[in-house]
Amino acid sequence: MTSSAVSNQTAPLSVAHVNDSLVVGGSEKLTATLCRQQRSRRHIVSVHCLFSIGPIGEQLQAEGFDVALHRSSSALGLMRNLYHAFKSARPDVVHCHNTTAAVIGALPARLAGVKTIVVTRHSLVKPPYELKSELRFAVASRFCDWIVGVCDSTRRNLLAAPLASREKIVHVYNGTPPANAEAAPKVKSGFTLLHVGRLVPEKDQATMLRAVAIARKTIPDLRLWMVGDGPLGPDLRALSESLGLANCVTFFGEQTDVSSFLVSADLFVMSSISEGLPISLLEAMSAGLPAVVTDVGGMGEIGHLSTGVMLTRPSDPQAMANALCQATIRSRAFPQIRQSASRCYEQNFTPEAMYESYMRLYTRCSSHS
């Protein structure tokens, strides 16, 4: 029996997702994708935000989803609010996203009699561990039936974490809707790189900018589009200026839909020092966009799955610059490379594949003895 046949025979479930917020980010976009997949198959879906609703939450509300904000001045207040919400709605599944949501949401769900509790860790969780945070998560995870890492690297790191509930730990690859191939392309000149991500330390965009400055000595018409915003925005703009990149690097800020960038760029780039499985890379693959990314977390796994993704060392501008130069040399082979990227996406990272994997967890026996 195929997995789709299994899901078609599954009785509708009531699923409650718990998130810190639904701002624009990878885990938040994944939650929205999963909500839409579940509702399209007649499941009853709600989202419980702990601190703010955010733009993605507002979009879900506009689409008719029940999105609740449980703001409180204390963790106990949030737990009490969630307990009453779960006790009243009686969901079949509570799905927590990341550490805080699990710490706040897992125990109230169990006390309210929820049958299945799942937590997904969207980050890499690599050593050295933040001991206090991981110990809180370890306690919360005792009330969960499944602990999901978004790539095998995250799964392995979760297994090694302090007091891990190892028998509950699995991995489910992220899935994302494909880029809109009909989007109006952006006007560009030269060989154009695209980066999509929050401007935060973990993404290490400074290494990318330095790599571009080095590579431009060999590729004078190299351009970089940076899509995203975050606390490092002013510093990165200043660094771009100091490196003499003002005329070739464009900061576009936060964008709700990046399809027009994906269908226009020549190469996708990420220079992260820590990653789970970035949604932006999966979106690039869906558009058949070749990529140069650092060999960290799930990005390394994708690099071994697809010839469309080239890997380079993290925190090494020269190594990334060399990879960018090699990519331009390989540009004649881009039609085949694009096919490899698209095929890898279709085989591993669609919303449907992610939905099926989570439904199997939701409906499996929660006994791990």
Per-residue model confidence as pLDDT tens for the chain (369 residues): 344 444 445 689 999 999 999 988 888 999 999 999 999 999 999 999 999 999 999 999 999 999 999 989 899 999 999 999 999 999 999 999 999 999 999 999 999 999 999 999 998 777 777 888 889 999 999 999 999 999 999 999 999 988 889 999 999 999 999 999 999 999 998 999 999 999 999 999 999 999 999 999 999 999 999 999 999 999 999 999 999 999 999 999 999 899 999 999 999 999 999 998 999 999 999 999 999 999 998 999 999 898 889 999 999 999 999 999 999 988 887 888 889 999 999 999 999 999 999 999 999 854 343
With beta carbons less than 8 A apart as the criterion, state whether 17 and 46 touch: yes
For domain 191-348, the CATH architecture is: 3-Layer(aba) Sandwich (3.40)
- The full set of domain ranges for the chain reads 3-175+350-363, 191-348
Assess whether the region 3-175+350-363 and the region 191-348 belong to the same CATH fold: yes
Radius of gyration, alpha carbons of the chain: 21
Start-to-end CA distance of the chain, whole Å, equals 26
Residue carrying structure tokens 């998560």: 137
Residue carrying structure tokens 């779960």: 86
With beta carbons less than 8 A apart as the criterion, state whether 225 and 193 touch: yes
- CATH 3.40.50.2000 for domain 3-175+350-363: yes
DSSP codes, 166-194: GGGEEE-----PPP-TTSPPPP--SEEEE
